[in-house]
A and B are shown apart, each in its own frame.
Chain A
Amino acid sequence: MPDQLLFAMEVSLNGLMTGIMYALVALGFVLIYKASGIFNYSQGVMALFAAMTLVGIQEGRVPFSHLINSIFGTHITEFGFEVPALLAILLTVAVMIAFALFVQKFVFRHLVGQEPIILFMATIGLAYFLEGVSDLMWGSEIRQLDVGLPQGINGAIDNATFEALGYGFFIDNLDISAAIIAAILVAVLIAFAQYTKQGRAMRAVADDHQAALSVGISLNYVWILVWSLAGIVALVAGVMWGSKSGVQFSLSLIALKALPVLMLGGFTSIPGAIIGGLIIGMGEALFEFVVSSNDLFGAWFGFTFSATENWFAYVLALAFLVFRPQGLFGERIIERV
């Protein structure tokens, strides 16, 4: 049985790594929800759009080439040069900031003071719009994304664990980078929110619009800032998921995996998004490991489950909703009467 135990440990570790990937997506939701009370349905599509833009720029492809070609009868598809990864990332950040400006100017500025449900509907519209734009801009083929992140099994961990335990752990280098990047991202975001002028303004707007205005904070500015940050977080998530499984339209569905993470961690907490992601990631990996194993679950009950990771996260989230509706780290609703 020690083999089983080691195997379970490896599965948990990998689950934690996947959880970090979920958390990256959930972070974008939390940012916007905290600062503007909007549940941004389009966060997943933003990740897709960011990843597609990054690949497109890197490969030097002409945006809207299908459109241009069909209007003018030309056959341009590529500029004929490749853009280095770092420059391409910076350009993509610029595109995401431009997107934030667009969203604020044409959508949310006109919806100030509306009910949350109306804002939510607007983000659904935005999601479809952005999906269409991504398609029109870069085409719908599956692309390989490579920004130079290490890929494959980490040999050092494999060797070290083999020597120490007699069993080598297979951990993907990409997952390790994701964990490091996520840790840096969260540290930076928290430092930004707590210690900078802009972060303070962001927290103020999240709390009370009227009061924020009275101390001289421009709501418009803060919202553009928040959408830009969400765009950058979407880019990070898009890069990690894109490197893992290719840039394709199903990428936008990772947003659905962020939902249970949010329910667990709370919609308003950045650390909550991380912890929620870790719990979901490890929980579903371990659960799958136990109930699909012939030696464990099968030996006791005579049958096994498979593909539980499709639904386990949602069931866990439902259980949380019953017992702790604000999530693990969500703001307690304090009401004085």
Chain B
Amino acid sequence: MDGQTSTVTPDGRTIGGVVMEMRNITLRFGGVIAIKDISFDVRHGEIRAIIGPNGAGKSSMLNVISGFYNPQEGEVWYKGEKRKPMKPYQVARQGIARTFQNIALFDGMTVLDNIMTGRLNHMKASILDQAIWWGRAEREEVANRQKAEEVIDFLEIQSIRKTPVGRLPYGLKKRVELARALVAEPEILLLDEPMAGMNVEEKEDMCRFILDVNDEFGTTIVLIEHDMGVVMDISDRVVVMDYGKKIGDGVPDEVRNNPDVIDAYLGVAHD
């Protein structure tokens, strides 16, 4: 893979040029270095995984991409432009949607309302248009509702769309959160441990959804995951982190055989 040219994967998906690039990112919290000089790129249409043991800095990396943290050093390049330090909502408006490790949903709202918040940035009608419910406001609401229903069908959560999110079990909450991110029609979808705490069946479902999203909508996906087996199965390329440093980067088979990665995961005596 050389950078700009498109390639076609064995299962027939097209992977395009680089859409996002992290250059020499360093993130510190006081004296603690969470991320140390990490660079990697994300190509259009691929599933890019970030893996590593606990405390490796994976979530911090995702938070850098989504603007929740601004790195002290390094540059984030998005669609060929260097990104200024940004607030999370600005990043979201650029077409980068995300989910959270500990699920951040609007518990007081129904599933449908939660998903509709994902469309907020697709609403351009002014407050006056909305007040008289005419023309643009109505068209937009109908279009947004349609998109929301599409995603609801896609993720198979029709039966719970009027249920307040606070009442749902964990696995379904994760799915609703994915739906909310997806309905924004993001350029890049960031998933922070989408399968954490799930049973085998739920994990299989989630895997299928992630692959389908990538396949059907062509969404670029960056995901963090603990479960090595899952990651190796679904991702195109993998970044491996350990103690804030990058110790491996490449297609799953390369990474699997990388001695540093094996050390980090299986443990090795350092003396």
Q: Is A331 an interface residue (CB 8 A)?
A: yes
Give the B interface residue count (CB, 8 A): 35
Q: Is B228 an interface residue (CB 8 A)?
A: no
- Taking CB atoms, residues of chain B closer than 8 Å to A208 are 104-107
Q: Are A203 and B106 in contact (CB under 8 A)?
A: yes
Q: Are A207 and B107 in contact (CB under 8 A)?
A: yes
Across the interface, B100 reaches (CB within 8 A) one of A206, A214, A219, A331, namely: A214
Q: Are B104 and A197 in contact (CB under 8 A)?
A: no
Q: Are B127 and A216 in contact (CB under 8 A)?
A: no
Cα distance A198–B123 when bound, in Å?
A: 10
Give the A interface residue count (CB, 8 A): 24
Q: Are A211 and B106 in contact (CB under 8 A)?
A: yes
Q: Is A171 an interface residue (CB 8 A)?
A: no
Q: Are B100 and A215 in contact (CB under 8 A)?
A: no
* Given A208-B104, A213-B89, A218-B89: A200 touches B120 (CB 8 Å cut-off): yes
Cα distance A203–B106 when bound, in Å?
A: 8
Binds A, one of B23-31, B111-119, B204-212: B111-119
Q: Is B20 an interface residue (CB 8 A)?
A: no
Q: Is A151 an interface residue (CB 8 A)?
A: no
Cα distance A230–B126 when bound, in Å?
A: 21
Interface residues as binary, A196-210 with B (CB distance below 8 Å gives 1, 0 otherwise) = 111011011011101
> CB-nearest residue of chain B relative to A196?
B130
Q: Is A299 an interface residue (CB 8 A)?
A: no
Q: Most B CB atoms within 10 A — which of A203, A210, A214?
A: A214
- Taking CB atoms, residues of chain A closer than 8 Å to B89 are 212-213, 216-219
Cα distance A218–B86 when bound, in Å?
A: 12
Interface residues as binary, B123-151 with A (CB distance below 8 Å gives 1, 0 otherwise) = 10101001101000000000000000000
Q: Most A CB atoms within 10 A — which of B93, B98, B104, B117?
A: B117
Q: Is B220 an interface residue (CB 8 A)?
A: no
Cα distance A232–B106 when bound, in Å?
A: 27
| Cβ < 8 Å to A, chain B residues 81-100 | 87-90, 92-93, 97-98, 100
* Given A200-B120, A334-B167: A213 touches B68 (CB 8 Å cut-off): yes
Shortest Cβ distance from residue B89 to the other chain A in the assembled complex, whole angstroms: 5
- Taking CB atoms, residues of chain A closer than 8 Å to B90 are 216
> CB-nearest residue of chain B relative to A218?
B89
* Given A211-B100, A211-B105, A334-B167: A216 touches B116 (CB 8 Å cut-off): no
Q: Is A195 an interface residue (CB 8 A)?
A: yes
- Taking CB atoms, residues of chain B closer than 8 Å to A210 are 68, 100, 104
Q: Are A207 and B109 in contact (CB under 8 A)?
A: yes
Q: Are B121 and A215 in contact (CB under 8 A)?
A: yes
Q: Are A204 and B104 in contact (CB under 8 A)?
A: no
> CB-nearest residue of chain B relative to A214?
B98
Q: Are A198 and B127 in contact (CB under 8 A)?
A: yes
> CB-nearest residue of chain A relative to B165?
A207
Across the interface, B118 reaches (CB within 8 A) one of A195, A213, A215, A331, namely: A215
- Taking CB atoms, residues of chain B closer than 8 Å to A196 are 127, 130-131
* Given A204-B106, A208-B104, A334-B107: A214 touches B116 (CB 8 Å cut-off): no
> CB-nearest residue of chain A relative to B108?
A207
Q: Are B93 and A216 in contact (CB under 8 A)?
A: yes
- Taking CB atoms, residues of chain B closer than 8 Å to A207 are 106-109
Cα distance A215–B127 when bound, in Å?
A: 20
Cα distance A204–B117 when bound, in Å?
A: 7
Across the interface, B87 reaches (CB within 8 A) one of A195, A204, A213, A215, namely: A213
Q: Are B97 and A215 in contact (CB under 8 A)?
A: yes
* Given A213-B68, A218-B89: A200 touches B113 (CB 8 Å cut-off): yes
> CB-nearest residue of chain B relative to A216?
B92
- Taking CB atoms, residues of chain B closer than 8 Å to A200 are 113, 116-117, 120
Shortest Cβ distance from residue B126 to the other chain A in the assembled complex, whole angstroms: 9
> CB-nearest residue of chain A relative to B104?
A211
- Taking CB atoms, residues of chain B closer than 8 Å to A336 are 166
- Taking CB atoms, residues of chain A closer than 8 Å to B133 are 195
Q: Are A218 and B87 in contact (CB under 8 A)?
A: yes
- Taking CB atoms, residues of chain A closer than 8 Å to B121 are 215-216
Q: Are B108 and A197 in contact (CB under 8 A)?
A: no
Cα distance A201–B92 when bound, in Å?
A: 14
Shortest Cβ distance from residue B153 to the other chain A in the assembled complex, whole angstroms: 20
Shortest Cβ distance from residue B107 to the other chain A in the assembled complex, whole angstroms: 6
* Given A200-B116, A200-B117, A208-B105: A214 touches B66 (CB 8 Å cut-off): yes
Q: Are A214 and B93 in contact (CB under 8 A)?
A: no
* Given A196-B130, A208-B105, A215-B97: A201 touches B87 (CB 8 Å cut-off): no
**6 A-B pairs (CB sep. < 8 Å):** A195-B130, A196-B131, A207-B109, A211-B106, A212-B89, A214-B104
Given contacts A210-B104, A215-B180, A334-B164, 17 further A-B contacts (CB under 8 A): A195-B130, A200-B113, A201-B120, A203-B108, A203-B109, A204-B120, A207-B109, A210-B100, A213-B68, A213-B87, A213-B92, A215-B121, A216-B89, A217-B89, A217-B117, A334-B166, A336-B166
Closest 9 CB pairs of A and B: A216-B92, A211-B104, A207-B106, A213-B88, A197-B123, A216-B121, A210-B104, A196-B130, A216-B93
